[in-house]
Chains A and B, each alone.
Chain A
Amino acid sequence: MFGWEFPPHVFGGLATANYGITEGLHAQGDMDITLCLPKPWGDEDRRSADIIAMNAVPIAWRDVDYDYVNGRVGDIMSPERYYRMRDNIYADFNYMNVNDLGCLEFAGGYPSNLHEEINNYSIIAGVVARAEQFDIIHAHDWLTYPAGIHAKMISGKPLCIHVHATDFDRSRGKVNPTVYSIEKNGMDRADCIMCVSELTRQTVINQYHQDPRKCFTVHNAVYPLKEEYNRIPRPDHTNKDKIVTFLGRITMQKGPEYFVEAANMVLHRTRNVRFCMAGSGDMMDAMIQLAAERGIADRFHFPGFMRGKQVYECLKDSDVYVMPSVSEPFGISPLEAMQCGTPSIISRQSGCAEILTNCIKVDYWDIHALADAIYSICANDSLFHYLQDEGKREVDQITWEKVGLWIRELYERTLGNR
């Protein structure tokens, strides 16, 4: 399996999904997973998957002794594996910017030279594909598609790609041609395309011209809350200000301006509500300005980027969670909010709307409906409690184990088809 990020070092939603799928597949009991990550930190959960650190896989031969290797990269890769990989170097990559172990360094996350890193990742994948034994290849998102294709060409094993998002979602239709070409190439060469929602599946079929017969919907799930987060108390807001929260990257894709406009409408009719826009992103300054222009800045707060426990504290302290995404392939965050007992309002243009019933769905552009829904949850306790209880019950039924079972079924179909 090729992945780009993995908890606890989370940059976006991809890490969570990657972790969930790995756990879900591991729960099957008879599946061994080798997970390739560009830059693991050594503190990842290794129970469910055998993690290969791509930044410790040699692509150029260096004569290094056991202790040196152990000392340099022992926390992320055993020297035995290093030597096995070294035996499978397939070309002379000395011209590249390799280090003392013959490996390529990764910055991790999403640096500015991302395209170069993607290319490096796929070169290393060639070594891994030669050295390791496997039956099927599973590549997560466009960053790892080239590596998946490379591995498929070397091993002849079928390739499944997992579409967590497409560039059409990220750019509202104005695609980056380089990214599009990588995505399209990956899809063309895949034997099975797993899409996180029917919405994404339709994008893949219509915008990337894929055969519907090899595109399947694999909805994401959510992991049960950690005990530590579960214990965070829910503050009581009876007769106090209600808090309405937006949490995510403040970018065009997430539709933050619709949240501000809806907040404006709510605040012009009622004063006992506060709005919180957590996260950061390229539209943050514009949003601060917009809130000021509308004259609601006294009740509209920007607490900035949140991580780990802060996220759950913020969710538990909210009375309404809003995700007005313009185009959201899946969107795990409303599921997390519902786990915390916070009623959610999501846009119909998000993938998770396909599987959730106990939340309020509105069209992202319909700020009247959005404002109305926010007001209704704040004003009517029965609605709040119904969504809280039933939402939690519903989301507890959406588990990665079920997703794992379905992916396994797709693996078997793919293997059987060949």
Chain B
Amino acid sequence: MRTICLYFEIHQIIHLKRYRFFDIGTDHYYYDDYENERSIGDIAERSYIPALNTLLEMIKDNGQYFKVAFSISGVGMEQLEMHAPHVIEKLQELNETGCVEFLAEPYSHGLSSLANEITFADDVKKQCVKMEEYFGKKPTVLRNSSLIYSDDIGGQVAAMGFKGMLTEGAKHVLGWKSPHYVYNCNIAPELKLLLRDVNLSDDISLRFSNSEWEGYPLFADNYINRIASLPEGEQVINIFMELSALGIAQPLSSNILEFLRAIPSCAKAKGITFATPGEICQKAKSVGALDVPDTLSWVDEERDVSCWLGNAMQREAFNKLYSVADRVRIANDSRICQDWDYLQASNNFRFMTTKASNVGLDRGIYSDPFDAFTNYMNILGDFINRVNSLYPDEIDNEELNALLTTIKNQGDEIEMKDKEIIRLKAKIEKIQASDEKVKGKAEKAKAVKTVAKKTPGRKKAVSASVKEEKK
């Protein structure tokens, strides 16, 4: 049976503020609160809420037939928590229908998969914990930032225990192959790969409202007919995009939500079903391994990492940032870790690109790539100073790690001993208390005897009280 796998990405960065080099060392707060609140509020209002409402209605209207998947970056989640909690409530409501799956992705939406294995694993773990906390289920399928994938990353992801991974159906990787099958990673056959259908996805997310496009206007029945007329064996149609495509990239006035709403019934008529990535990875069998020696992503015409690491400035910023990755992990300082998440976001590197792109790039507060680079490097300079000043420079990471482990072990030991002391103290007190009781009893008993001797008339009453005491 032919299946559509619909998936939306939710991610918004924490915007950096204008940070001059004379702020280095004096100002450790790097974020533009106003811009954060404004942009996420705007996007929630114009895109997330209407789009999620529509998806919820689609699920309710179609029973268990329509299914959809989301992934939310950790920093995006923090933005929503702070400035648009109603979006999270909406997502939880969607989750309760049972037709929604949440995927894993790096918490920071960063490029750690290209730099540092342990950082990448921690990054993903952190986001999984958050997803479980909010939606009650541990993700089983991973989606790396901007669908970045290579054989090595696949191998690592499989080792982390994921069943499947999403990536781009890039032409230069697929060649004559079709993205409409399930493939597997060539060094870890148990990891299944779902490949984005570039055309069908971009028709919605890039071109839907473009009146100069020859496919304009796009209707749901045409769209489903195109899927239905694919060759017989092609069973999995992966349509992946950012959620903000509905409403921001393609304005609501283009009736994109009405288009979306009509898709399930059109698909039903053609016998096409919906499934989440997790279900597909469970049911479908892989048709073969996919070789991806060079890293690919879903960005730009090249579908590689050149929009983040294409020029020397981007590479310097990237190398500088990840040069402190181990130190940050070992130090494990809560404020540093928070800044670490925010600074990793790949968007920060995207702002520095000097490539010409056919997708309009909003550089935010930056006027050009050099401006973006300067600002980021200033912030990074301060951040690295802070990381380095936590512990003396001359101690290298291994030594530091050993020392910290020793300290931690000693701390644990002390804690255990403290507990032991408390326990023992309690015991002693108990023993003392029972001792005193026994003494007290003995004295009382003596007193009773002497009294009894003096006033035999009240003997009965006293023996009654002794009896009570015994009880």
B353 shortest CB reach to chain A, Å: 12
Secondary structure at chain B's binding surface: helix, strand, loop or mixed? helix
Q: Are B370 and A382 in contact (CB under 8 A)?
A: no
* CB neighbours of A386 from chain B (8 A): 311-313, 354
Q: Could you tell me the distance between the alpha carbons of A259 and B240 in the complex, rounded to whole angstroms?
A: 51
Instruction: Name which of A143-151, A172-180, A284-292, A368-376 contacts chain B.
Output: A368-376
> Is A81 part of the contact surface with B, judged by Cβ < 8 Å?
no
Cβ contacts A355-388/B at 8 Å (1 or 0 each): 0010011000000100111011001111101110
Residues of A within 8 A of B311 (CB): 382, 386
The answer to whether the Cβ of A390 comes within 8 Å of any Cβ in the partner chain is yes
A381 and B375 alpha carbons, distance in the complex (Å): 15
A268 within 8 A of B: yes
Once the chains bind, are B354 and A383 in contact (CB under 8 Å)? no
For the complex formed, measure the closest distance between the CB of A275 and the CB atoms of chain B, giving whole angstroms. Answer: 16
CB pair B377 A380 closer than 8 Å: yes
B20 at the interface (CB under 8 A from A): yes
Residues of B within 8 A of A383 (CB): 313, 316, 370, 373-374, 377
Partner of B373, one of A265, A371, A380, A385: A380
Chain B's closest residue to A380 (CB) is: B377
CB-CB under 8 A for A379 and B22, given A361-B368, A386-B311, A387-B370? no
Report the minimal beta-carbon distance from B40 to chain A, rounded to whole angstroms: 27
Interface string of A251-281 (1 = CB under 8 A from B): 0000000000000010011000000000000
Check B378 for interface membership: any CB of A closer than 8 A: yes
Q: Mark B357-391, 1 if CB is under 8 A from A, else 0.
A: 00000000001101101110110010000000000
* Alpha-carbon distance between A364 and B303 when the two chains are bound, in angstroms: 39
Provide the bound-state CA to CA distance between A379 and B20, in Å. 13
Q: Which residues of B contact A379 (CB under 8 A)?
A: 21, 377, 381
Per the 8 Å Cβ criterion, residues 288-325 of B in contact with A are 311-313, 315-317
CA distance A376 to B377 in the complex (A): 8
A269→B21 contact, CB < 8 A: yes
B370 touches A385 (CB 8 A): no
* Pair B312/A382 contact, Cβ less than 8 Å: yes
Also in contact, A265 and B377, with CB within 8 A (given A360-B370, A382-B315): no
Specify the chain A residue showing the minimal Cβ separation from B373. Answer: A383
B368: chain A residues within 8 A (beta carbon) = 357, 360-361
Of the listed residues A357, A360, A382, the one surrounded by the most CB atoms of chain B closer than 10 A to its CB is: A382
Chain A residues near B381 (CB-CB < 8 A) = 379
A386 to B21, CA, bound (A): 20
- CB within 8 A of A373: which of B22, B312, B370? B370
Question: How far apart are the CA atoms of A350 and B374 in the complex, in Å?
Answer: 22
Looking at the assembled complex, report how far the CB atom of B351 sits from the nearest CB atom of chain A, in whole angstroms. 14
Instruction: Identify whether the interface residues of A are mostly helix, strand, loop, or mixed.
Output: helix
Shortest beta-carbon contacts, A-B, top 7: A382-B316, A376-B374, A382-B312, A375-B21, A382-B313, A372-B20, A360-B370
Distance of A268 Cα from B368 Cα, bound (Å): 26
A161-182 contacts to B, CB under 8 A, are: none
A361-B367, A380-B373 known; A371 vs B22 contact (CB < 8 Å): yes
Closest to A389 in B: B312
Contacts of B377 in A (CB 8 A): 376, 379-380, 383
Bound-state CA distance A361–B366 (Å) is 11
29 interchain pairs, CB-CB under 8 A = A265-B22, A268-B22, A360-B371, A360-B374, A361-B367, A371-B20, A371-B22, A372-B20, A372-B21, A372-B374, A372-B378, A373-B370, A375-B21, A376-B21, A376-B374, A376-B377, A379-B21, A379-B377, A379-B381, A380-B377, A382-B311, A382-B312, A382-B313, A382-B316, A383-B316, A383-B370, A383-B377, A386-B311, A386-B312
CB distance from B126 to the nearest CB of A (A): 30
Q: How extensive is the interface on chain B, given as a class?
A: 20 to 34
User: Which partner residue on chain B sits nearest A374 by CB separation?
Assistant: B21
Which residues of A sit under 8 angstroms from B21, Cβ to Cβ? 269, 371-372, 375-376, 379
Closest partner residue, chain A, to B312 (CB atom) = A382
Q: Which residues of A contact B (CB under 8 A)?
A: 265, 268-269, 357, 360-361, 368, 371-373, 375-376, 379-383, 385-387, 390
Set of chain A residues within 8 Å of B367, measured between Cβ atoms: 361
List B5-25 residues whose CB lies under 8 Å from chain A.
20-22, 24
Q: Which residues of B contact A360 (CB under 8 A)?
A: 368, 370-371, 374
Q: Which residues of B contact A269 (CB under 8 A)?
A: 21-22, 24
Query: B312 — which chain A residues lie within 8 A by C-beta?
Result: 382, 385-386
Contacts of A382 in B (CB 8 A): 311-313, 315-317
**Which chain B positions have C-beta within 8 A of A361?**
367-368
Identity of the chain A residue whose Cβ is nearest the Cβ of B311 in the assembled complex: A386
Contact between chains at B20 and A373 (CB < 8 Å)? no
Instruction: Return the chain A residue nearest B381 by Cβ.
Output: A379
Q: Please give the distance in Å from A163's CB to the nearest CB on chain B.
A: 27
With A and B bound together, what is the CA distance between A360 and B352 in angstroms? 13
Question: Within the complex, what minimum Cβ distance (angstroms) separates B16 from chain A?
Answer: 14
- Tell me the bound Cα distance from A385 to B370 in angstroms: 12
Cα separation A383 to B373 with both chains bound (whole Å): 8
> Smallest Cβ distance from A21 to chain B, in angstroms?
30
* Cβ contacts under 8 Å, A376 to chain B: 21, 370, 373-374, 377-378
B316 and A390 contacting across the interface, CB-CB below 8 Å: no
Name the A residues within 8 Å of B317 (CB-CB).
382
Instruction: Say yes or no: B370 contacts A390, CB within 8 Å.
Output: no
Closest residue of chain B to A359, judged by CB? Answer: B370
Considering the chains assembled together, what is the distance between the CA atoms of A375 and B373 in angstroms? 12
**Within B269-288, which residues are at the interface with A (CB < 8 Å)?**
none
CB distance from B367 to the nearest CB of A (A): 7
Structural contact, A380 and B316, CB atoms closer than 8 A: yes
**Most chain A CB inside 10 Å of its own CB: which residue of B312, B316, B354, B373:** B312
Measured CB to CB, the closest approach of chain A to B6, in angstroms, equals 40
A390–B315 alpha-carbon span in the complex (Å): 16
Nearest B residue to A345, CB-CB: B370
How distant is the Cα of A189 from the Cα of B378 in the complex, in angstroms? 54
Chain A residues in 8 Å Cβ range of B315? 382
Given the complex, which residues of B lie within 8 Å of A381, measured CB to CB? Answer: 316
Complex alpha-carbon distance, A198 and B374, angstroms? 28
Q: B25's closest neighbor in chain A, by CB?
A: A269
- B313 close to A380 (CB less than 8 A): yes
Residue of B nearest to A376 (CB): B374
Min CB gap B422→A, angstroms: 53
Q: Which residue of B lies closest to A372 (CB)?
A: B20
C-alpha spacing A268/B378, complex, angstroms: 16
How far, in whole Å, are A386 and B313 apart by their CA atoms in the complex?
Answer: 7
Name which residue of chain A comes closest to B315, CB basis. A382
Kindly report which residue of chain A lies nearest to residue B21, judged by CB atoms. A375
> Closest A-chain residue to B370, C-beta based?
A360
Given contacts A360-B370, A381-B316, 15 further A-B contacts (CB under 8 A): A357-B368, A360-B368, A361-B368, A371-B21, A373-B370, A376-B21, A376-B370, A376-B373, A376-B377, A380-B313, A382-B315, A382-B316, A383-B316, A383-B373, A386-B313
Query: A390 — which chain B residues lie within 8 A by C-beta?
Result: 354
In the assembled complex, the CB of A352 is this many whole angstroms from the nearest CB of chain B, namely 15
- Interface core residue of A361, A371, A385, A386 (most chain B CB under 10 Å): A386
CA distance A383 to B320 in the complex (A): 14
Residue among B21, B24, B373 with the most chain A CB within 10 A? B21
Least Cβ distance of B361 to chain A in Å? 14
User: Cα distance A387–B352 when bound, in Å?
Assistant: 13
Closest to A269 in B: B22
In the complex, what distance in Å separates the CA atom of A21 from the CA atom of B180?
A: 60
Q: Cα distance A64–B368 when bound, in Å?
A: 66
